[in-house]
Amino acid sequence: MREKNEKKIKELIKKLEELEGGVRLVRAELSKLIGERTSVIREDEQQRANILLDIWKAGSVITQRELYKIASKHGMDNRGLGGFFVGKKPSLVKLADGKVALTEKAKENLVKWGLIPEENA
């Protein structure tokens, strides 16, 4: 019974993620029609955007363990998370207490992608 429930939950989560992606595309199309400047998420950025959005929804500061769970939820191996912490403008920073936080650049990207309103960044 439990295995059946877990399978159904995973199916529903996948459907929900697909619907969310569709909603973002419709929102972007509407924005174009009314003259708002917007950016559609490129396919190669989708996984990254979903991970950053989940961190933002969790309050923008999470534990390393929570980061691993979010990455796994979106099909990313923990070894792939290093890219979030490097570069001129990284998306994530490690805090002194061992937690992980979104950077301003990550929040700017979430706004640019139309995933969060500018006033909530």
Mean pLDDT over each residue of the chain, to the nearest integer: 85
Domain range list for the chain: 1-38, 42-121
Q: Which run of H or E residues covers position 93?
A: strand 92-94
* pLDDT tens digits, one per residue of 39-82: 567 777 889 999 999 999 999 999 999 999 999 999 999 999 99
Beta-bridge mates of residue 36 = none
Share of the chain above pLDDT 70, in %: 88
For domain 42-121, give the fold.
Answer: Arc Repressor Mutant, subunit A (1.10.10)
Give yes or no for residue 38 having a pLDDT over 60: no
Q: Is the pLDDT of residue 25 over 70?
A: no
| pLDDT above 80: residue 37 | no
